[in-house]
Amino acid sequence: MASSRPYVSELSTIRGPLKEAGLERSQVPLTLMLLGKTGNGKSSLGNALLGCNESAEAPFQVKSGFVSCQEHEPRLEEGIIQERPVNIIDTPGVLDNVNDEQALDGICKAISLNPGGVTAFVIVLRADSRFTKEESKAVDQLQSLFGDKFWDHAICVFTHGDVALRGGQAAFESQLKIARQQVSNLDTILTKVGVRWLIVDCHNLGRSKLTEFVLMLDSVRSKNKGECYTNALFKEAQLRYAKANGPALLASLRKTKKELRELKKDYKQLQDTMSKQLLEEKIKALEGKMEGQETQIKTLQHDLTAAIKKAAKKSCELL
């Protein structure tokens, strides 16, 4: 049974606008940022797009569990896809953080790696497993961190196609349709990206899939008239986030300070060594939490003070 989605033909319609805008086959590197949870196949996809296997010499090292989150910073690698120069930014562990501040820090580091901005954000999901609550939270993080403009530059790639496509493309699309009805944030992603999604086997990424991938990138460039998602857009999104979340952050900080005062008061009254040790650990944890909250609030206040005007530069400035 043929695919229910006239995929390539729909994406191919962007070639005309690109040619008219002088953007067709441009030699300006396309910059991609891979986003997704550890284990979804970001690094494997990055290696496959660059034509590399997952050996020790591969640009992006594939590791499991918490190793990716803790030991690796976002990094950029250059390469060629279908005769097109590309910069690929991997973001190991960035969306594994339940802490919005840590996720923000990781994204800041990643987006600053290429001063020219990001052509396309590649949301990487597994095609052979459930869409988890953590991934739903990651979708919310993407929206709050990058703002609405994020979706104009977003595409979606499902990995582990060797497993998910055993029943064929049409069967996978049928399963995906059911999943979208049951999981609102998965439906949000696919509604926002429209036809700009595909499913791949990172161990066998053939020429036809690479062609579809490049067509998706060109679709993004056409939609945005060749403009990248820059640091200026990112800062504007942070400002909106600050205005929306500032009051809640201040309330949370006041609550933490109150808890800390009460714990220190109880600590002074305790005589039992074991109980005092437990309280010391709680006090230390709360002090760390309070320090993080204060840092986040100072950052938001600084951003609000230096608010970006609508006529902000389109070039990327490091955070």
Question: Distance between CA atoms of 216 and 268, rounded to whole angstroms?
Answer: 63
Statement to judge: residues 194 and 253 lie in one domain: no
Torsion region of 36: left, alpha or beta (phi above 0 gives left; psi -120 to 50 gives alpha): left
- Please, what sign has the CA dihedral across residues 126, 180, 209, 215? negative
Q: Which of 203, 170, 121 is nearest to 2 (CA)?
A: 170
Strand extents, DSSP E, 177-310: 197-199
Tokens 């949301």, located at residue: 123
Averaged pLDDT for residues 194-223:
90
Neighbour-count burial of 109, counting CB atoms closer than 10 A to its CB (0-12 exposed, 13-18 middle, 19+ buried):
middle
Note whether residue 175 is domain-resident: yes
The answer to whether the beta carbons of residues 91 and 106 sit under 8 Å apart is: yes
Question: Distance between CA atoms of 125 and 303, rounded to whole angstroms?
Answer: 32
pLDDT higher than threshold 80 for residue 104: no
Last residue of a domain, one of 230, 262, 290: 230
pLDDT of residue 253: 74
The DSSP symbol for 24 reads T
Domain that holds residue 141: 6-230
Residue type, 252: S
Statement to judge: residues 90 and 199 lie in one domain: yes
Which stretch of DSSP H or E encloses residue 76?
A: strand 75-81
Q: What is the mean pLDDT of the chain?
A: 77
More confident residue, 84 or 296: 84
Statement to judge: residues 143 and 281 lie in one domain: no
Last residue of a domain, one of 201, 230, 259: 230
pLDDT band for position 309 (cuts 50, 70, 90) = very low
Total number of domains constituting the chain? 2
Which stretch of DSSP H or E encloses residue 31?
A: strand 30-35
Statement to judge: residues 177 and 303 lie in one domain: no
More confident residue, 241 or 12: 241
**Whole-number percent of the chain with pLDDT over 90:** 20
Strand extents, DSSP E, 103-173: 120-126, 154-159
pTM of the model: 0.72
Averaged pLDDT for residues 188-192:
92
Note whether residue 1 is domain-resident: no
Last residue of a domain, one of 191, 214, 230: 230
- Please, what sign has the CA dihedral across residues 203, 207, 212, 215? positive
Question: Distance between CA atoms of 111 and 33, rounded to whole angstroms?
Answer: 8
CATH code at position 75:
3.40.50.300
Neighbour-count burial of 54, counting CB atoms closer than 10 A to its CB (0-12 exposed, 13-18 middle, 19+ buried):
middle
Which stretch of DSSP H or E encloses residue 279?
A: helix 273-305
Q: φ and ψ at 216, to 5 degrees? A: -65, -40
Note whether residue 101 is domain-resident: yes
pLDDT of residue 19: 57
Q: Which of 183, 153, 131 is nearest to 30 (CA)?
A: 153
